[in-house]
Amino acid sequence: MATSATPRAIIAQTLRHEQPAVCPYYVWVSEEMRAPLAEYYGAEQFIGHANEITIFAGSYTALREVVARTVWTSGDRFADEYGIRYRQGNIKHVERPALIEPSLKNYTFPDLSTDEHFNGFEEWIETHAERFRIAQLGQMFFERAWYMRGMEDFLMDLHVNPAFVEELLEGLEAVCMAVIERLLADYGDRIDAIGLSEDYGTQRSLLISPGHWRRFVKPHLARICDRIHRGGKLVYIHSCGHVAPIVADMIEVGVDFLQPIQPEANDIFELKRHFGKDLCLIGGISTQQTLPYGSPEDVCREVRACLDRMAAGGGYIMAPAKAIMQGVPIKNAIALIDAFVNQSGD
């Protein structure tokens, strides 16, 4: 469906909770799926260098992460600037956390605001000049906290070492703030939103109780959101999993976008009904069930439902909940992209 308005203008319209003539969308693909899809659509339709997020050229938004650098590798093991050692499988696993004991004694947090961490940013900004540009802090706050200690120890710390948890989160907030200051100072006139990659939820619940989230995470998130807003930018939160219990809290502290609203973990239509006037929702297309295991007709029906119910009244950017991953039938991936482009589920 063609439109003369720029992608950024259409995102601005949906953010005002006005329903644009076309629903903005975002399609990202894994490295393994890029080549087979490029055979069908053409290589020029997929934007992004190797080891970067690759998006379909019709996408209305673009995202770039600032992440910790790898400082050591050996086979399938590596370490980053925080001093955490990982093992790389199909996903990375924390093999040795940075903090074996619940103490920050002699520990120095890394500076992720250096020139090295922003390599390629200028090129990315120019490449996506007409798109809505989101700079994301990759795994720098809540998710980083349990990386630092290991999941089990961090969850125990919430109960038995709360003062340490507060100190740890204060240090991580400072890391985030330094990156935000750099983004605002050097790129503030050319980016539209600043985001955090957080992952608060499991498939069925939050990782921690809503009470613990409000006690430990919410105050820091409020300060981060305030700084981003004072810099004139919108706030984007990525959190996989079931997050419904804290969506109202996120709105309260100033979150403007919530992504990816996994339909397997949330009732996305209820999220729209309850919060659709206060929040822009991104995602909602199943990448755990429909894309890998459904038919092209199933994919089109799901897109149609999102167009009819999620896009109504604006405040929605249509997208798969995760990237189009290896193993998704090419027919289904094509059905998704074509339905997005043509804005039909037929």
pTM for this entry: 0.96
The sign of the dihedral angle between the CA atoms of 126, 132, 137, 138 is negative
**Confidence category of residue 103, pLDDT binned at 50, 70, 90:** very high
Question: Each residue of 21-58: pLDDT tens digit?
Answer: 999 999 999 999 999 999 999 999 999 987 778 999 99
Question: Each residue of 277-300: pLDDT tens digit?
Answer: 999 999 999 999 999 999 999 999
Domain membership flag for residue 304: yes
Question: Each residue of 166-202: pLDDT tens digit?
Answer: 999 999 999 999 999 999 999 999 999 999 999 999 9
Check residue 310 and give its pLDDT. 98
Asked whether 94 and 34 are in contact (CB, 8 A), the reply is no
The domain spanning residue 132 has which CATH number?
A: 3.20.20.210
Domain membership flag for residue 129: yes
Asked whether 11 and 18 are in contact (CB, 8 A), the reply is no
Domain membership flag for residue 37: yes
**In what order do the strands lie in the sheet containing 193-197?**
61-66, 132-137, 193-197, 234-238, 257-259, 280-285, 316-320
Domain membership flag for residue 73: no
| Residue span of the structural domain in which 122 resides | 7-67+99-342
**How many structural domains is the chain composed of?**
1
Domain membership flag for residue 86: no
